[in-house]
Amino acid sequence: MNVFIILMGVSGCGKTTIGLRLSSMLDIPFYEGDDYHSEENVTKMARGIPLTDKDRKGWLVSLAELIRDKLDKGHSGVLACSALKEKYRQQLRVDPEKVVFIYLKGKYEMIHSRMMSRKNHYMGLQMLRSQFQTLEEPQDIFTIIVDQSPDRIVEEIRQYLKEENII
């Protein structure tokens, strides 16, 4: 297997939770996209200021380089990354044969209620509406509604990956 699975969606949709479980199940590394933000971006988001395309440029370049480097070395991975716009997804799709997006979709009210219980995360509730406004919902990738248990979501992803001969 030589694939990079990108779990995308707004903050609070479960990218990290699902990503950690999926990477464990597949026995491949997990990468947290938020870890690749600049200090300036994290500070800006913590203050409730939405990132611009210009702010995200270096972050997306870093993530694309990570994906390309790992794939070139024959390694696979799971990446949690919002990838809210189609142009961001295009930038991350460094090899269309080996980069797979999975959209973790949820309604605003449900995600908002999840985020109310989060502790110690720089992405505050005030940013959620901005993310939903920025989101360009993908029409051409596997989508899972996240109103079910993490185990069920991971199982649906596993089934999809097997059916598509990705794993």
Q: What is the pLDDT along the chain (167 residues), one digit of tens a residue?
A: 799 999 999 989 999 999 999 999 999 999 999 999 999 998 988 888 888 999 999 999 999 999 999 999 999 999 999 999 999 999 999 999 999 999 999 999 999 887 776 665 545 566 788 899 999 999 999 999 999 999 999 999 999 999 999 98
CATH for 4-163, options being 3.40.50.300, 3.40.1440.10, 3.40.47.10, 3.30.70.260: 3.40.50.300
Residues in a beta bridge with 102: 7, 142
- The ranges assigned to domains in the chain are 4-163
pTM (two decimals):
0.93
* Residue 89 CA from chain centroid, whole number: 10
Q: Which spans in 5-149 are helix H?
A: 15-26, 39-46, 53-72, 86-92, 108-116, 128-134
In three-state secondary structure terms, 66 is: helix
Mean pLDDT computed over every residue of the chain: 92
13: alpha, beta or left, given left = phi > 0 and alpha = psi -120 to 50? alpha
